[in-house]
Amino acid sequence: MKRLLYIACTFFCWMTLGCDDILEKEPLALISTDNAYVTESDAARAVTAAYHPLQANNWCCGAWGNSGFMHWVLANVASDDTEKGGESGSDQLYAQQVSLFNIPADNDATRFAWSSQYIGIRRANLVLDNIPDIEMDEDLKARYLAEAKFLRAWYYINLVKTFGDIPLVLTSEIEAYDLTRTPRQQIYDQIIKDLQEAEAVLPAASEYADDDRGRATKGAAQAYLGKVYLYLNDFVNAEQWFAQVINSGDYSLHPDYYSMFLREGENSSEHIFQAQFHNDQGAQPANNQLNIVFGSRARNGWGFNCPTQDFVDAFEEGDPRLGHSVYKEGDIMPDGLVANVGNTPTGYLNKKYYVPEYERVGGALQPGRDDIYMRLGKVLLWYAEAANENGNTQEALDALNMIRERAREGNPDILPNITETNKDALREIIWHEQRVEFGQEFERFYELVRQGRAGDVLRAYAEKYGTAKGSGFRDGINEIFPIPQAEISLSGGLLEQNPGY
């Protein structure tokens, strides 16, 4: 599938991006919806192209990528876990604006987050509008349509949690700026409908061939249904859907926490949904450059997304996950190099995206590290949270302690099993475990918002460290981000700005 993503990107540049009178000549072979969706191969390319916006930092779409803004800026830098970093405070100003919650409507991070997800939705809608008319194997057609529904739901999850009420586009015939905003609950209703219809058809992970690894699976649909219900505070449905993933037999915790984030751990038994990237030299448009964005300025990196001291201090004494999540000056890295973190403002860099020298087949700009969006470790801790809220304390403890057992790496003297049974106290323990287990994995800010404590946590961070970061957070406003001004202008007034922006 990694190679297909590269081919499909070219195909869909014609279908979704457009060009202005190339050489002012009529193309000899014009691609349109009338001739682009004819054969089974056309269907395969169209579906694969709908996966393309998943790639967090794709060079062919600009060095800073599309979905990447949503991840490292809006999920990480907006939180108490990560400082912007870079050469100075004004380096990539859009990220600094997010960190301070002084976010204008023309902020680049929000603009690209919006556009990248709606590109994905348009591509999914093109599949859903056109593939039903193709004469091809009916079972494969049904799977392709289920994949498109899953992807449309995935992109809408990102949009609704980032912007709140948004246009609901369910056909390729219209654009988002042609519509008014749909209430958040209706967006979630459509997401649930798409995911449930996809889950009923998609194969289990074990039923896919190796070449199809990375495609949407039944387990991925179940996991995201659980996550959506968690966002809606529907803990009963969340627990039930997460339980289906856990009990499916398709997934197990990767035995070694850190290697799960290396190339050797790609598509492991723990991974449920991830964006696939090339490992091949010369395949730069399908490589993942986030290791450069997050890497040391002293070693071919740009020094962004720097873990905070508060994040480091959140780990219990002796927790090996600290050394697997961040690195500091003088640490010995997986490739034997001695870490030089450059001028990072916190003294730390993100180790989960460090690419060892032996993985850089074509050089620093051409690693193929996949982006892991959903894994069993997350599902277990979200299941534990839902089970605790539902009064199923033992189930919550069992899931929580599975994570801690893997984390202690065989050392019985650290990370003892949790035995707390008070619901409120156990909730806090689970939230803490979530922070350290999937820290720097593009969840923290959205999790704080979901838990209803973003303002309290961020303002406490600002006061504790005497920093402006987080101090500007306004309750009832900054839980979501501004609608890009360019989209409001395109809509001719149909789209209205979020309050406070």
pLDDT digits (tens, 9 = 90+) for 328-351: 999 999 989 999 998 899 999 999
5 pLDDT band, cuts 50/70/90, is low
Report residue 222 as tokens: 């179940």
pLDDT at 14 over 70: no
Instruction: Please give the single-letter amino acid code of residue 230.
Output: L
Give the list of residues 6+ apart from residue 412 with CB closer than 8 angstroms, or none: none
Find the mean pLDDT for residues 189-196.
99
pLDDT the model gives residue 279: 63
Q: Is 294 helix (H, G, I), strand (E, B) or coil?
A: helix
The rounded percent of the chain whose pLDDT value lies above 70 is 87
pLDDT at 120 over 80: yes
Candidate from 24-33, 35-44, 311-320, 445-454 with smallest mean pLDDT = 24-33
The H or E element spanning position 373 is strand 371-375
d(CA 207, CA 376): 18
- pTM listed for this prediction: 0.92
Please name which of 370, 312, 397 lies closest in space to residue 80, comparing C-alpha atoms: 312
Candidate from 19-33, 376-390, 400-414 with smallest mean pLDDT = 19-33
pLDDT the model gives residue 479: 99
Q: What is the DSSP annotation of 66-80?
A: SHHIIIIIIIIITSS
Find the mean pLDDT for residues 100-120.
94
The H or E element spanning position 143 is helix 138-163
pLDDT the model gives residue 294: 87
pLDDT at 363 over 50: yes
Burial class (CB in 10 A: 0-12, 13-18, 19+), 450: middle
Tell me the β-bridge partners of 271: 375
pLDDT the model gives residue 61: 36
263 pLDDT band, cuts 50/70/90, is confident
Tell me the HSE value of 372 on the side-chain side, using a 13 A CA sphere: 27
Q: Is 375 helix (H, G, I), strand (E, B) or coil?
A: strand
219 pLDDT band, cuts 50/70/90, is very high
Tell me the β-bridge partners of 349: 327
pLDDT at 153 over 90: yes
pLDDT the model gives residue 62: 41
24 pLDDT band, cuts 50/70/90, is very low
Find the mean pLDDT for residues 467-489.
97
* Per-residue CA distances from 412 to 68, 416, 433, 434 (Å): 38, 7, 18, 21
Q: Are 376 and 272 in contact (CB under 8 A)?
A: yes
d(CA 36, CA 356): 41
Report residue 151 as tokens: 């992807």
What is the pLDDT of the chain when averaged over all its residues?
89
pLDDT at 15 over 60: no
Q: Are 334 and 262 in contact (CB under 8 A)?
A: yes
pLDDT tens-digit map of 424-439: 999 999 999 999 999 9
pLDDT the model gives residue 283: 47
Report residue 400 as tokens: 């929580």
The H or E element spanning position 362 is none
Q: Are 440 and 324 in contact (CB under 8 A)?
A: no
pLDDT at 299 over 70: yes
Q: Within a 10 A sphere around the Cβ of 443, how many other Cβ atoms?
A: 22
Report residue 224 as tokens: 């995201």
